[in-house]
C-alpha cells in the first residue's frame, strides 16, 4: 500500500508528459476535425505532404524520394540547422564550462559566491533585456569588422546566433558540472601524476570516466536550452537564420492545426530521443545529480 502513491504519481506524470504528444499525433494526421467530434472521422497525410516531409500518395518511387530530399524542404533545412547550432553550442559550452566548473567545485576562494551569482545571472535577467543590447552591439561590431576588412558577420549569421545561445546555456553547464566536481576526489589525479602519467593521460583515464555521467547531463541541458531558443534566434538571426522553433512560431499563426502539429512532432522528436539516451544519467544515484547541494 505504501507504493500506491508512488505509482499514482508516476502514472500522473506519464500522462501529463504523453498527453501533448498524443494530441500532436492525432492533429498531425487528422482531416476535417471539427467540434464537437471527439475523434477525427477522416485521416490524411496532407500536412506532411504540404511540408514536403513525405512524397504525395501514389508517388512512392525512388526518384520521388530523391527529388524530395534533394529539394531541401523548409522543415528539413530548419531541422538540420537547429541540430548544427545545438551541437556547436553544446560542444563549445562544455569546453568553456569545464575549467570553470572544476574551479568552483573543487576550490574555495574569496568572492566565490559573487562568481556563482554572475554565472547564474543570465537565467534571472529577461532574455529580451540582453538580446536587444547584444543585437545592437553585433551590428556595430559588424560595421567595425567590415571597415577593418575582416569578413565576419555576427548579426544575421549562424555564428552570431550560436554565440548568443551560449548566454542562457552556460549557467546550466557550469552549475551541473560544479556539482559533479564537488563530489570528485582529485587525489586520484595526484596518484596518477606521481606514477608519471602525462596531463592528457590523466584527464583521459582518470578525470573523464569519473565525470562522464555529469558531462552527459550538462550536454543534455545545453542542447535542449539551445534547441528551444526562439527569441534570441529571431533577434540575432534577423530572419536570415531560420531554425525549427522560428519556423514553428511562424506556422502557429496559419491556423492549420495539422501542419502545426506535424512541425511540433518534428521539433520534439530529437529532444525526446536525446532524453531517452541520457536518461540513465539523470537518476539520483548518478554522480551527476549528487553535488548540487554542496556547490
Question: Whole-angstrom Cα distance, residue 106 to residue 113?
Answer: 14
Give the total residue count for the chain: 295
Q: What is the pLDDT of residue 86?
A: 92
Nearest to 164 by CA among 235, 218, 224, 101: 235
CB 13 within 8 A of CB 5: no
| CA-wise closest residue to 220 among 89, 126, 122, 76 | 89
b/e code 92-119 from CB counts within 10 Å (16+ = b): bbbeebbebbbebbeeeeeeeeeebeeb
**The predicted structure's pLDDT at residue 88:** 95
Give the pLDDT score at 292. Answer: 38
> In a structure prediction context, what are the per-residue pLDDT tens digits for the chain, which is 295 residues long?
567 777 888 888 888 878 878 888 888 888 777 767 777 777 877 777 777 776 666 555 555 555 444 444 588 888 889 999 999 999 999 999 999 999 888 888 888 888 888 888 888 888 788 888 888 888 888 888 888 877 777 888 899 899 999 999 999 999 889 988 888 888 888 888 888 888 888 888 888 888 888 898 899 889 999 998 988 898 888 888 889 888 888 877 777 788 888 888 888 888 888 877 777 666 544 444 444 334 4
In the prediction, which pLDDT does 223 show?
A: 92
Residue with cell 538571426: 237
Grid cell at residue 22: 498524443
Q: What angle do CA 174, 179, 183 make, to 5 degrees?
A: 140
Q: Compute the CA torsion angle 265, 266, 271, 273 (nearest 10 deg).
A: 90
Q: What span, in angstroms and rounded, lies between the C-alpha atoms of 235 and 128?
A: 9
Q: Which set of grid coordinates corresponds to residue 248?
A: 514553428
CA dist., res. 195 & res. 175, Å (int): 32
* Model pLDDT, residue 56: 64
Question: Which H helix or E strand runs over 43?
Answer: strand 42-43
The alpha-helical segments, DSSP class H, found in the chain are 4-29, 46-50, 62-70, 74-106, 112-124, 127-147, 158-182, 187-194, 199-202, 208-227, 231-237, 244-252, 257-277
- Cα 23 from Cα 16, distance rounded (Å): 11
pTM comes to 0.80
Amino acid at each position: 500500500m505504501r507504493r500506491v502513491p508512488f505509482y499514482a504519481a508516476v502514472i500522473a506524470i506519464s500522462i501529463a508528459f504523453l498527453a501533448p504528444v498524443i494530441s500532436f499525433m492525432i492533429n498531425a494526421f487528422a482531416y476535417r476535425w471539427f467540434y464537437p467530434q471527439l475523434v477525427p472521422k477522416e485521416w490524411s497525410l496532407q500536412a506532411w505532404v504540404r511540408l514536403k516531409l513525405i512524397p504525395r500518395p501514389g508517388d512512392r518511387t525512388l526518384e520521388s524520394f530523391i527529388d524530395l530530399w534533394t529539394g531541401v524542404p523548409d522543415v528539413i533545412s530548419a531541422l538540420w540547422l537547429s541540430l548544427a547550432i545545438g551541437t556547436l553550442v553544446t560542444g563549445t559550452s562544455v569546453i568553456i564550462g569545464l575549467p570553470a566548473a572544476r574551479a568552483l567545485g573543487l576550490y574555495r576562494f574569496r568572492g566565490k559566491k559573487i562568481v556563482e551569482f554572475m554565472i547564474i545571472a543570465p537565467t534571472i535577467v529577461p532574455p529580451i533585456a540582453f538580446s536587444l543590447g547584444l543585437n545592437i552591439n553585433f551590428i556595430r561590431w559588424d560595421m567595425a569588422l567590415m571597415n577593418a576588412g575582416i569578413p565576419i558577420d555576427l548579426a544575421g549569421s549562424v555564428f552570431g546566433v550560436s554565440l548568443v545561445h551560449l548566454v542562457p546555456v552556460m549557467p546550466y553547464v557550469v552549475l551541473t558540472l560544479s556539482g559533479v566536481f564537488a563530489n570528485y576526489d582529485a587525489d586520484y589525479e595526484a596518484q596518477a601524476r606521481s606514477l608519471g602519467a602525462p596531463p592528457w593521460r590523466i584527464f583521459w583515464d582518470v578525470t573523464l570516466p569519473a565525470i562522464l555521467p555529469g558531462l552527459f547531463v550538462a550536454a543534455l541541458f545545453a542542447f535542449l536550452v539551445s534547441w528551444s531558443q526562439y527569441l534570441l534566434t529571431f533577434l540575432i538571426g534577423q530572419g536570415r537564420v531560420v531554425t525549427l522553433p522560428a519556423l514553428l512560431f511562424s506556422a502557429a499563426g496559419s491556423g492549420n492545426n495539422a501542419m502545426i502539429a506535424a512541425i511540433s512532432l518534428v521539433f520534439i522528436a530529437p529532444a525526446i530521443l536525446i532524453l531517452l539516451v541520457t536518461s540513465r544519467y539523470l537518476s539520483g544515484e548518478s554522480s551527476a545529480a549528487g553535488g548540487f547541494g554542496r556547490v
